[in-house]
Amino acid sequence: MINIGVIGAGAMGSGIAQVAAEAGYGVLIFDVDPNASEKALGKLQKNWQKAVDKEKINPEEMQKRVALVRVASDLADLKDFDLVIEAVAENQEVKKSVFSRLDEVCTEKTIFASNTSSLSITEIGSFTNRPDKVAGMHFFNPVPVMKLIEIIKGLATSEETIDALKVVAAKMKKVGVVANDTPGFIVNRLLVPLCNEAIKMLEAGVASLEDIDTAMKLGANWPMGPFELSDLVGLDVHIGATAGLERELNDSHYACARLARQMYRANRLGRKTGKGFYDYN
Ligand code: CAA
């Protein structure tokens, strides 16, 4: 495998493009908004410049990485690619249009992966004529730092596809774990209800959000408290994730905390809008 296409140039897509280039793959980024792709390129260069300044890599390595990443103007530019990783909005209709178009333009060999955290990989596979070559590749935020990739096996995903993605994960210096296509996979099945419970505890007046965060950092050794983490991930993602768990597991215990929904309505999504449980302005 020599090249990887990344669809969607947001926080996750740009992080995936970064680790793919660091692994030596040629990378093509596509976003419907060309400004987003250019912004992602700028972010990558900034991150690598920081690594040069910290003497973690030399300027030649940075130039090598920069040369590996380009912006695509059309999905058809990914025609001969070995792997395409999609990181667009968590909306199955949007994903359907991306994957059905990719299926038309890409040659038979191309493997498709989705970074979805809450939608069905089996259903995404059904949008294509190659469901055996469709899998989940779920990265964690911030992608350059977090060591895990969940590799998700849909009902029709072949072992060859899973094996190929394990190799990619290892080249990216990540650890790949394999999970079946189930709601939340492994990490979010556990983490999302925990963060949701923390929000419900705040609503119930159990403690202040600062004290709940401090308690989990010092009492459970979490690197961030549940509110800091919700702000990092985004309340929009939290709402989508809880809705997916509730619907698919058919259990109202997973229902999103009311306060999270209120904050979403107020556009207090966390770091991405400058305000969530904490203020980032
Ligand atoms: N991009 C690139 N690098 C970053 C970064 C980012 N956004 N944020 C931090 N880093 C790097 C820093 O540059 C620093 O690198 P060096 O060691 O080379 O200097 C290193 O990470 C540590 O950063 P800091 O010292 O600033 O901060 P920290 O030690 O407090 O770590 C953290 C920050 C890595 C985010 C840590 O707090 C952490 O691990 N938090 C938990 C994150 C987590 O749980 N993520 C999963 C969320 S769930 C998810 O993503 C799935 C989903 O589907 C929603």
ipTM (interface pTM): 0.94
- Rounded to an integer, what distance in angstroms lies between the CA atom of residue 235 and that of residue 269? 5
Domain annotation covers residue 53: yes
Give the strand order in the sheet containing 26-30: 69-71, 26-30, 3-7, 83-86, 111-114, 134-139, 148-153, 175-180
Site of tokens 């994957």: 99
Say how many Å lie between the CA of residue 146 and the centre of ligand 1: 7
Q: Any binding-site annotation on 46?
A: no
Residue nearest atom 44 in ligand 1 by C-alpha distance: 229
Please give the chain's pLDDT, 281 residues, in tens.
799 999 999 999 999 999 999 999 999 999 999 999 999 999 999 999 999 999 999 999 999 999 999 999 999 999 999 999 999 998 899 999 999 999 999 999 999 999 999 899 999 999 999 999 999 999 999 999 999 999 999 999 999 999 999 999 999 999 999 999 999 999 999 999 999 999 999 999 999 999 999 999 999 999 999 999 999 999 999 999 999 999 999 999 999 999 999 999 999 999 999 999 999 99
- Residue 12 counted as an annotated binding residue: yes
- How far apart CA 41 and CA 39 sit, in angstroms, is 5
Both 138 and 244 in a single domain? no
Which residue's entry shows tokens 């979403």? 264
Boundaries of domain holding 165:
3-180
Q: Which sign does the torsion angle of CA 66, 82, 97, 273 carry?
A: negative
Asked if 52 and 141 sit in the same domain, the reply is yes
Q: How many domains does the chain have?
A: 2
Q: What is residue 118's predicted lDDT score, i.e. its pLDDT?
A: 85
Task: Using the 3D structure, point to which of 180, 210, 230 is the last residue of a domain.
Answer: 180
Can you tell me which residue has the tokens 């890409």? Answer: 106
Is residue 129 annotated as involved in ligand binding?
no
pLDDT for residue 58: 97
Question: What is the value of pTM for the model shown?
Answer: 0.94
Read off the CATH number of the domain in which 234 is found: 1.10.1040.10
- Atom of ligand 1 at shortest distance to CA of 18? 2
Q: Which residues contact 54 (CB under 8 A, 6 or more apart)?
A: none
Catalytic residue positions, numbered: 117, 138, 150, 188
**What pLDDT score was predicted for residue 172?**
98
On whether residue 278 sits in a domain, the answer given is no
